[in-house]
Homo-oligomer: A and B are copies of this chain.
Amino acid sequence: MGTVGVENILSTPLNRIYVPEGDVLHAIKKGDSGYLDFGEVYFSQVHTGAIKAWKRHQKMTLNLVVPYGEVHFTFVDEKGLYYSETIGDKNYVRLTVPPGLWFGFKGCSNKISLVMNASNIPHDPSESERKKTDEIKYDWSKV
């Protein structure tokens, strides 16, 4: 875990199939790049301009998709290197995030946004740690 860096984050473009009654949006299937195992799927809403930061997992690999709205993610590794990407309506990709990276995100849509995480293990509060938003330097106001 000591050597994981932001360069290990995977950004995978996803298909979005036009259907007149409402599009079909791919998220993740068994065997996809970044898929390890199935633990849990849950959603995290983010209000417009709201920031959820920071959290770091020891065991969980995240597979993040934004099926509604736009969310700016920032990741920080032990070397202090940053990686940011805004995903959702305009950039429909899946972010695969290995354990060991700090991450935070901000709602960047004028409506509510929805983050889906399909993780390789079920939620377990003992394998994650948190820092307050201002404990890691990042200018969220520019996002």
Decide: A22 near B41, CB < 8 A? Known: A29-B123, A68-B68, A116-B116: no
A121 to chain B, nearest CB (A): 9
A44 to chain B, nearest CB (A): 5
Q: Interface SS of chain A: helix, strand, loop or mixed?
A: strand
Q: B residues within 8 A CB of A22?
A: 44-47, 50, 52, 107, 112-113
Would you give the 0/1 interface string for A8-27, flagging 1 where the beta carbon is closer than 8 Å to chain B? Answer: 00000000000111111111
Could you tell me how many residues of chain A have their Cβ less than 8 Å away from some Cβ of chain B?
36
Find out whether the CB atom of A21 lies under 8 angstroms from the CB atom of B41: no
Q: B residues within 8 A CB of A39?
A: 29-30
- In this assembly, does A114 line the interface, its C-beta being within 8 Å of a C-beta of chain B? yes
Given A19-B52, A21-B50, A29-B123, 9 more pairs with CB closer than 8 A: A21-B47, A21-B52, A27-B40, A27-B42, A29-B41, A30-B38, A30-B40, A30-B122, A41-B118
